Amino acid sequence: MLIYNVTINVEESVKDTWVTWMMNTHIPDVLATGKFLEATMTRVLVDEEMGGITYSVQFKVKDRETLDLYYQNDAERLRNDTIKLFGNSLVAFRTELEVVAIEKPVIASATEFLFTYGTLQDKEVQQMVFSRILTGNKDHLKAHTISKELVGGLYPTVTSTANSDKGVPGIVYIISTDELKRVDIYEGDAYFRKKATLASGTEAWVYLGKSES
């Protein structure tokens, strides 16, 4: 993928008119050629010694051949439209950028707080469940204590207690809704999930043994 970047310095006297024309006419006309995938218009946050206000418009194009077709069939006509309307009120220069890589977040949206006190703190378990290592903060689950009974004879759970001073130490992570569903599968039928208020005041999901339900 390539990015066809046009940087334009516009005189302040025509700035508002030019921006409106770009948004409503010129950029739609460029996209209407069918050569570009999308366009992004930004204002460059710098004080220009030459005066005026600088903008950058970036057009994404799939390959060199398509960009060359734009140069051959469309560019001159569209540039002339700009010159007819704004003449010497703006200065533009163009650059081509080659996209080397596009990195995206591992998760789309981390909005769920998860309190852990057992195996989910283990990095190998996290890699298995989330395909990544989590980063969290220490917290306490109030009015609960570690149960003497282990789930399946192996795994810890917590039980509520009347002693408000008691609390279960653990780590709270922020994960996505999809990742929370993965935890449901990992914890299985022996646990159920509910919201609880932690010592920090955070509302987080916590998994309790079915005997607590």
- The owner of tokens 């449901």 is 184
Query: What residue ranges define each of the domains in the chain, with the CATH number in brackets?
Result: 2-98 (3.30.70.100), 110-212 (3.10.490.10)
Rounded to an integer, the average pLDDT of 11-36 is 95
Complete DSSP assignment for 128-172? HHHSS----EEEEEETEEE-SSPBTTTB--EEE-S-TT-EEEEEE
Number of C-beta neighbours around residue 118 at 10 A: 19
Give the pLDDT score at 211. Answer: 66
Q: Which helix (H) or strand (E) holds 202?
A: none
| Phi and psi, residue 124, nearest 5° | -65, -40
In the three-class reduction of DSSP (H, G, I as helix; E, B as strand; rest coil), residue 76 is classed as helix
Name the residue type at position 176: S
Give the pLDDT score at 108. Answer: 54
Give the pLDDT score at 16. Answer: 96
3-state secondary structure labels for all residues of 21-63: HHHHHHHHHHHCCCCCCEEEEEECCCCCCCCCEEEEEEEEECC
Give the pLDDT score at 9. Answer: 96
Give the pLDDT score at 144. Answer: 87
**pLDDT tens-digit readout, 130-154:** 888 999 999 999 888 888 877 767 7
- Report d(CA 32, CA 124) in Å as an integer: 51
Give the pLDDT score at 148. Answer: 81
- What the block records as the tokens of 153 is 């004879």
**pLDDT tens-digit readout, 59-90:** 999 999 999 999 999 999 999 999 999 999 99
**pLDDT tens-digit readout, 153-209:** 778 888 888 775 668 999 999 999 999 999 999 888 888 999 999 999 999 999 988
Which one has a higher pLDDT value, 128 or 211?
128
**pLDDT tens-digit readout, 87-125:** 999 999 999 999 887 765 655 577 899 999 988 999 988
Give the pLDDT score at 22. Answer: 96
